[in-house]
């Protein structure tokens, strides 16, 4: 009897560990056809152009133009003076799709914007940064790819 209780406890522990592992953030992405989901986001003229109108339609009502001023006080500006560029591209993509952590007002765009459209919005935002800010943020994005994506989070 005691043995089967021990076995049950062990089984439960395994199930709990497995469930926790399942909840870990999965940063891998499944590319849709026609979209190149490689990071850092590649800036092409076509992407930047498409991103500009997507940004105007979906983001500027709260965030204002990339270079400010913001419209909604709690929506940060995405310019050099903000902190968007402190984050790697892959995380920014995830936040646009599923909201940033602890978001209160920012909507999730999964289902509204396609994979490629998120890349376009990001390309547009990034294109508005000074070249040195672009370079620094690209380094952050590259490092994130190496540390989190290649080696995993465990
Ligand atoms: C309804 C208003 C609203 C809309 C629309 C909106 N946001 Fe946000 N966003 C916010 C707010 C507010 C925050 C701060 C977190 C919070 O409290 O939700 C935020 C946070 C963010 C952040 C994280 C902070 C940062 O800059 O690093 C990013 C990135 C972002 N938004 C990008 C976008 C993009 C891109 C779009 C359009 C596709 C968009 N947002 C549309 C309100 C909005």
Q: What is the pLDDT of residue 147?
A: 87
Q: What is the pLDDT of residue 55?
A: 98
Give the closest residue to 113 by CA, choosing from 127, 92, 129. Answer: 92
Identify the segments of the chain with pLDDT beneath 70: 1-35, 153-154
Phi, psi for residue 89 in degrees, rounded to 5: -55, -40
Quick check: 124 and 47 in contact, CB under 8 A? Answer: yes
Q: What is the pLDDT of residue 35?
A: 61
Torsion of CA 63, 64, 67, 73, to 10 degrees: -60
Q: What is the pLDDT of residue 17?
A: 41
Domains parsed from the chain with CATH numbers: 32-150 (1.10.760.10)
Tokens of 4: 């089967």
Q: What is the pLDDT of residue 153?
A: 59
Nearest CA residue ID for atom 8, ligand 1:
106
Tokens of 65: 């133009």
Q: What is the pLDDT of residue 4?
A: 61
- Atom index in ligand 1 nearest the CA of residue 92 equals 29
Phi, psi for residue 95 in degrees, rounded to 5: -70, -40
pTM of the predicted model, to two decimals?
A: 0.82
Measured from CB, residues less than 6 Å from any atom of ligand 1 are 58-59, 61-63, 72, 74-76, 78, 82-84, 87, 92, 95-96, 100, 103-107, 109, 121
Q: What is the pLDDT of residue 21?
A: 43
Q: What is the pLDDT of residue 151?
A: 78
Q: How far is the CA of 100 from the centre of ligand 1 (A)?
A: 8
């Amino acid at each position: 009897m005691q043995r089967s209780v021990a076995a049950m406890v062990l089984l439960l522990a395994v199930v709990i560990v497995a469930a926790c592992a399942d909840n870990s953030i999965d940063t891998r992405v499944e590319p849709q056809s026609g979209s190149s989901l490689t990071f850092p986001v590649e800036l092409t003229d076509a992407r930047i152009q498409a991103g500009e109108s997507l940004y105007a339609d979906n983001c500027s009502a709260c965030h204002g133009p990339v270079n400010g001023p913001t419209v909604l006080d709690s929506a940060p500006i995405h310019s050099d003076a903000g902190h968007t560029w402190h984050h790697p591209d892959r995380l920014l993509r995830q936040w646009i799709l599923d909201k940033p952590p602890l978001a209160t007002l920012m909507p999730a765009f999964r289902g509204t914007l396609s994979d490629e459209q998120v890349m376009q919005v990001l390309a547009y935002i990034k294109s508005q940064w000074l070249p040195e800010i672009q370079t620094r943020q690209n380094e952050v994005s590259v490092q994130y790819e190496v540390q989190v994506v290649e080696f995993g989070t465990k």
